[in-house]
Amino acid sequence: MAEQSFKNHTKFVPMFHVVILGILGINLIHRIIRIAHEFDVNRLIELLLAVAFILMALYGRLFALTVQDRVIRLEMRLRLTQLLSPDLRARIPQFTVGQLVSLRFASDAELPELARKVLDENIQDRRAIKKMIRDWQADWLRA
């Protein structure tokens, strides 16, 4: 595997992002064209099903990412409990899920300093937090 960094850490699954969503998109367009040419109840049901399939795929992905974020939140709270000084440990509940998800890529050595900065400056932007990481720790188990 190539080394992971901020530039290449997002997960792209061609079978899902291109093939499955592409097929569902083509199906939706086809159903729209068919109903535009001749309306009937069966074509309306086909169009509604095409929309439902796309929503199902997108929500399925969203649900998986939400569960992943909850697991990361738990993992990071445990990690922070071990690594932070007592004054910062008391502030762990102040972290948002987005902040914790972004901080997970930081090494143990830089995490305390970065965590303090994120809290003190109230940095919310996930990309900005990830860009501050100097020693990137890869996460190959993302959904």
Question: Minimal CA–CA distance to 112: which of 79, 84, 78, 73?
Answer: 84
- 59: which 2 tokens? 């929500």
pLDDT digits (tens, 9 = 90+) for 73-122: 999 999 999 999 999 999 999 999 999 999 999 999 999 999 999 999 99
Work out the average pLDDT over 26-34: 98
